[in-house]
Amino acid sequence: DELEEEIEEALDNLVLEEEFEVEDANMMLRLAASDLVIDSGGVRLTAEGSVNVQERAECVAALDPGGSESVDSEPPLITDMTGHDGVLFLSDEFANQALYTLWVGGALCYAVNEEQVGLPIDTSLLSMVVDGVFDELFPEVAPMELQLRPESAPEVTFGVNHDVGVGMDDLAIGFYAELDDRTARVLGMNIETELGMDVSLDDTTGEITVGMDVDLDEMVHTAAFNEFVSESSAEIEEGFVSFFDVMVADLLFDNLYDRVITLESIEMYGLDSLDVAAVGDLGDWGAAYAGIGEVTYGTGGCSGTDESGCSSGCSGGCGLAGSAGARGGGTGLWFGLPIALLIVRRRQHEFL
């Protein structure tokens, strides 16, 4: 009973609260442990999370439905842990709440101009969409601004086309320039696309690569606003893909390329496997299965080992311990226990 009380008290104090800024949106993240189960199979820690923002951004305020969709979904059971020492489960409900918060806070609204990016952003770019169509409107090159605004919050999927997919069904891209002594929207495109992310681990270098991709073949796009050259909408839609590929994808996704995270090892042990999958009855939970073992990549500043397996010059943490489920044993308790950290359905709360 005393141990249970100590565990409950420890859980009550296991809370992470962070405030951070994304673009101009002030975000607030809260994770709180809600349950801990320890048995012969290992440790299962359940946490609840919420993401909030201080105020709605003007660019999407009129479009705000008041929150992301809440769908009841039971956390997946930990069944097959063969070859793995831990798993992180993330619900799509929590992920979608985070994406909604980014959206409603205006972090996904962009105004791209020459001053901002240091590159020529002017009406000559319209010829990349379709050559010659806009020449009569702009006989001389004039400054232009691209305005990007998702008109609904993005939503996440797991294990469909990619390990993680972020779908944008209503991305509006506006081309604005001076016309007849006023700033006018020259062209407006509506985009339906997906940012795909695939995760891989190189166990020889300790590099986790998050490969990012936009499948242009699957992108749906329409000329939603085209009052000035309406007879050319079909040509504009046909030529827009190459423009999006060259200009918008790089600007929108911050020079789209693979992200690499380099891990360190501790006492010659580290992450040696990482598998990402969709789990749950509806496939609405993402799972990252991790394995711990002896590795050859970075030692995190500790070098040389003595007979006991402790790195020379390292203070503390050198005691060895066996553990349930350890692959090979003697790797230290925090490595050996199969651990499941579940971020379960979000806390119900009012936004803003």
pLDDT given for residue 41 in this prediction: 64
Rounded mean pLDDT of 310-328? Answer: 32
Mean pLDDT estimate for the chain? 80
Rounded mean pLDDT of 307-333? Answer: 34
pLDDT given for residue 250 in this prediction: 63
Beta bridge partners of 33: 47
Buried b (16+ CB within 10 A) or exposed e, 59-93: bbeeebeebbeeeebebbebeebeebbbbebbbbb
DSSP-derived secondary structure for 203-242: TTTTEEEEEEEE-GGG-EEEEEE-SSSGGGHHHHHHHHHH
Rounded mean pLDDT of 215-231? Answer: 94
pLDDT given for residue 1 in this prediction: 63
Least confident segment among 90-94, 183-187, 299-303, 331-335: 331-335
| DSSP tag of 246 | I
Residue 50 to residue 116: CA distance in whole angstroms: 32
Beta bridge partners of 193: 168
pLDDT given for residue 40 in this prediction: 67
Please name the residues in contact with 293: beta carbons below 8 A apart, sequence gap of 6 or more: 269, 270, 272, 273, 327, 328, 331
Rounded mean pLDDT of 266-277? Answer: 90
Which has the higher per-residue pLDDT, 112 or 250? 112
Structure-block tokens of residue 141: 């090159």
Nearest to 100 by CA among 25, 161, 174: 25
- What are the angstrom distances between the C-alpha of 5 and each of 1, 10, 34, 260? 6, 9, 14, 42
DSSP percent split of the chain into helix, strand, coil, nearest 5: 20, 40, 40
Residue 249 — pLDDT band, cuts 50, 70, 90? Answer: low
Q: Map tokens 């972090």 to a residue.
A: 107
CA 81 to chain centre: 25
Could you tell me the sign of the dihedral formed by the alpha carbons of 110, 115, 119, 123, in that order? positive
Which has the higher per-residue pLDDT, 190 or 48? 190
Q: Map tokens 């020492």 to a residue.
A: 85
Model confidence pLDDT, tens digit, residues 33-78: 888 877 766 778 888 888 899 899 999 999 999 988 877 777 777 6
Rounded mean pLDDT of 294-323? Answer: 45
CA 219 to chain centre: 20
